[in-house]
């Protein structure tokens, strides 16, 4: 069965950094695109970053230059390095895997950016 487990969230001040991790199992991780989404209060869940099996990356405009997605296929883990954090980055962050029209999600990890 597919399992996605996020970790690394927390409370940080504006301008601070966090690194999120997503441990994956139940599928051939190295062959698949992985993504990070986030859901802020009162807003729809949005795609933040995506990385393909070959390492190509995409980011939503609001995080370009601040966030970096990466993967370690030996550990079946995808990361999201978040720098220069802003209050608008506050959200629950979710790991995502999409296969043949079906979305798989982790439980989410809370990121709060506040003074």
Please report, in tens digits, the pLDDT of each residue of the chain (115 residues total): 999 999 999 999 999 999 999 999 999 999 999 999 999 988 999 999 999 999 999 999 999 999 999 999 999 999 999 999 999 999 999 999 999 899 999 999 999 999 9
> Cα(71)–Cα(68) distance, rounded to whole angstroms?
10
Closest CA to 26 of 102, 79, 111, 112: 102
Closest CA to 115 of 8, 9, 11: 11
Q: Which pLDDT does position 6 carry in this prediction? A: 98
Q: Which pLDDT does position 41 carry in this prediction? A: 86
Q: Give bridge partners of residue 44 from the DSSP assignment.
A: none
């Amino acid at each position: 069965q597919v399992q996605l487990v996020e970790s690394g969230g927390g409370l940080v001040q504006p301008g601070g950094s966090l690194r999120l991790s997503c441990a994956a199992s139940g599928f051939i991780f190295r062959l698949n695109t992985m993504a990070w989404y986030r859901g802020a209060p009162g807003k729809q869940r949005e795609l933040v970053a995506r990385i393909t099996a070959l390492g190509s990356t995409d980011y939503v405009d609001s995080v370009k230059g601040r966030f970096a997605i990466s993967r370690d296929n030996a550990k079946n883990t995808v990361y999201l390095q978040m720098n220069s954090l802003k209050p608008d980055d506050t959200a629950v962050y979710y790991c995502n895997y999409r296969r043949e029209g079906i979305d798989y999600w982790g439980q989410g990890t809370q990121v709060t950016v506040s003074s």
